[in-house]
Structure 1
C-alpha cells in the first residue's frame, strides 16, 4: 500500500480510538492490519523499532547528533554573536520541526523533541544574556515573554497541551513580575482582584471554545485553575513580608476548588474531554 495512504488510514484509526467511535479491540486489529513494519522503517528511520533492532546506521547517526550538540555547547561561547543566534535558531527549528513531522506517527519522540526544544530555548536565551553582559532586568522579561508566545503558538499547532500551558505560565510570571514592581506592598485583597478576574476569564474561554477549537479547552481550564491559586502563590513565593496566615488561605482555596470541581464534575470534564 502507498505510504501516504497508509498514514492517512492509521491517523483515522487513531482518531476513531481517541473519540471512542470504535472499540479498542477493533482499533487494535485495524492498526495491526495496516501497520506494516517494513514500510514504517523505510518511511521513518529514526524510530523506537529501529533502535531496538540495533541498526548500526541509526546508532551512528544518533552518536553524531549528540557529539554535534556537545561540540556546539563547548565552543558556543567563542562564536560571534550572529553565529550564536543562527546556531540556536537552527537547533530549535530542527527540534520543533521534526516534532511536528512525527506528531502523528511517533508521539513519544515528538513530545521528547518538543521538550528538548523548549529547554534549549530558555537555556540558550539565558546563556546569551550572561555571555554578552546584557541587563537581566530588561532582557529576562523579554526572554520570558518570547518563550511564552512561542510555546503557546507551538503548543496549539503541535497539539501539545503541556507546552501551551507552560507558555501561559510564563506569561503569568511576567504579569506577576510587572505588577510586583509597580505595587510591591499590595495587600492580599489587591492580589485577589489582580488574579481572580483572569481565573474567571480562562474558565469562561474553556467553556466557550470547547466545541469550537479542539484541544484548547483543557489547557484553558488548567490555566484558570492555576490562576485561582495565584494570589496566595504570588504573595508567598514572589513577594516578601506577608503573614503566615496567607498559607492557610491557600489551603482553604484548594479545598474550595476541590469541592467546586466535584460538584460541577460533569460539566468541566465534558469541556476538558473535548
Structure 2
C-alpha cells in the first residue's frame, strides 16, 4: 500500500481510538493490520521529538505566544477601556475557539486551551474591575454570574465536562453569596431548604438528559452530588454562628451519599458514562 495512504488510514484509526468510535481491540487490530511497525504516528505537532529535532515553526510559535502574553501583561493597564475589553475578548475567542477545534483530535491541548481561557476570563475580568475601581458595587457578583453562564454554555456546546461543572460551581458561589446577604441569620435547617431542592433538580436533569443529550448527564449528576453537601459547606465557610454538631451532620450526609451511590451504582454510572 502507498505510504501516504497508509499514514492517512493510521491517523484516522488514531482518531477513532481517541473519540471512542471503535472499541480498543478493534483499533489495535486495524493498527496492526495497516502498520508495518505497529506504531501509530502522532498527529500532535508539539512533541518532545519535534522539539528535539529543532522544528523552527514550533519554536517561533512559542516565542510569539510568550511575547504576546508579556506585551499584554506589561501594557494592559494603560490601554483604553475599549482596547482592554477587545484584547480580553480576542484572547478568549482564540483559546475557546481552538479548544473546540482540537477537543477531539488533540484532547489534551484542547482541554489545556479551555483551562487557559477560563483563567484568562477570571484574570482579565477581575483586573479590569479593580483597574476601574468597580469592586464596591455589584460588578463582582455580575461578573461571576457572567462567567458561570459562559462556562456552562461553552462546556455544554464543546462537551467539556470540567468547564461545564465549573460554570455551575460559579453559579453556586453566586447563589451562596446572595443567600448570605438576604438571610444572614439562616439556620442549618433553613439552609437545607435553600439547597436541597436544587440538588433534586440537578439529579432529575441528569436523568432527563441521559435519555436526550449525550455527554452532559454526568456533569449534572456531579453538581447534584455537590449540592447535597452545600448546606453544611455554606454554614462552615460563609456563616459564623453554626452549631457544634454541624460537622457530625456533614459526616452523616457524606455517609448517606456514599451509601446511595453504592446502592444505585449501576444506574448513575450509566448516566455518567454517556
Alignment of 1:4-19 (within 5 A): 11-15=15-19, 18=20
Shift of residue 26, structure 1, vs aligned partner: 2.6
Name the counterpart of 1:87.
87
Alignment of 1:224-239 (within 5 A): 224-239=224-239
Cα distance 1:159–1:54, how it changes in 2: closer, same or farther (>3 A)?
Answer: farther
Distance 1:149 1:233 in 2: 23
Cα distance 1:87–1:201, how it changes in 2: closer, same or farther (>3 A)?
Answer: same
Distance 1:240 1:137 in 2: 24
Name the counterpart of 1:216.
216
Give the count of matched residue pairs.
266
Shift of residue 31, structure 1, vs aligned partner: 5.1
Name the counterpart of 1:252.
252
Is the 2:10–2:31 contact (alpha carbons within 8 Å) kept by the matching residues of 1? no
- Which runs of 4 or more aligned residues in structure 1 lie more than 2 Å from their structure 2 counterparts after TM superposition? 1-15, 28-38, 44-54
Shift of residue 244, structure 1, vs aligned partner: 2.6
Distance 1:263 1:49 in 2: 48
Distance 2:203 2:170 in 1: 18
TM-score (norm 1): 0.89
Shift of residue 87, structure 1, vs aligned partner: 0.5
Is the 1:210–1:217 contact (alpha carbons within 8 Å) kept by the matching residues of 2? yes
Distance 1:101 1:74 in 2: 30
Shift of residue 170, structure 1, vs aligned partner: 0.5
Secondary structure at 1:230's aligned position in 2?
A: helix
Distance 2:48 2:107 in 1: 11
Name the counterpart of 2:263.
263
Alignment of 1:122-161 (within 5 A): 122-161=122-161
- Structure 2 unpaired stretches of 5+: none
Alignment of 1:66-85 (within 5 A): 66-85=66-85
Distance 2:7 2:163 in 1: 30
Secondary structure at 2:69's aligned position in 1?
A: helix
Is the 2:16–2:27 contact (alpha carbons within 8 Å) kept by the matching residues of 1? no
Shift of residue 46, structure 1, vs aligned partner: 4.9
Alignment of 1:142-221 (within 5 A): 142-221=142-221
Is the 2:206–2:220 contact (alpha carbons within 8 Å) kept by the matching residues of 1? yes
Please give the per-residue CA displacement for 1:228-247, whole angstroms capped at 9, x wherever unaligned.
00000001111222123212
Cα distance 1:240–1:189, how it changes in 2: closer, same or farther (>3 A)?
Answer: same
Is the 1:98–1:113 contact (alpha carbons within 8 Å) kept by the matching residues of 2? yes
